[in-house]
Amino acid sequence: MVNVQDRAARILESRQKIRPPYQLDDSLCLYSPQDNVDALTHPRIRAWFDFLDRYEPVLPDGRLRVLLLMPCTKTKPYPMSTEHRRINQALSDAGFRPTADGPLLPADAPPELRSLAPLRDASGVVLHRAVVSEPLGLVPYEHITEWEGQGSPASAYDDPGLFENRGNAVSPWRADCTAVQISPTQWKWGDAERAAYVAMHNEMSRRVAAVVERLAGVYDRRISWVAPGLTHRSFVVAADERAANKVVRSRAVAGGRLPLVGANDLLPDSLRIACLPTLAQCHDARERLAVRMGCTVSRVGGVYSRGGGDATPLALPELLAHLIAAIRA
Cα–chain center distance at 82: 14
CA distance 3 to 25: 20
Say yes or no to pLDDT of 1 above 70.
Answer: no
Quick: pLDDT tens for 52-104: 999 999 999 999 999 999 999 999 999 999 999 999 999 999 999 999 887 89
pLDDT average, residue stretch 136-150: 95
The pLDDT of 252-269, averaged and rounded, is 97
Q: What percent of the chain stands above pLDDT 70?
A: 99
Which residues have CB under 8 Å from 207's CB, separation 6+? 49, 52, 137, 138
pLDDT at residue 325, as a whole number: 97
CA dihedral 169, 171, 177, 182 (to 10 degrees): 60
Predicted local confidence at residue 204, as pLDDT:
98
Q: Which DSSP string corresponds to 198-212?
A: HHHHHHHHHHHHHHH
SS3 1: coil
Q: What is the mean pLDDT of residues 186-195?
A: 97
For residue 219, which phi and psi values (nearest 5 degrees)? -115, 145
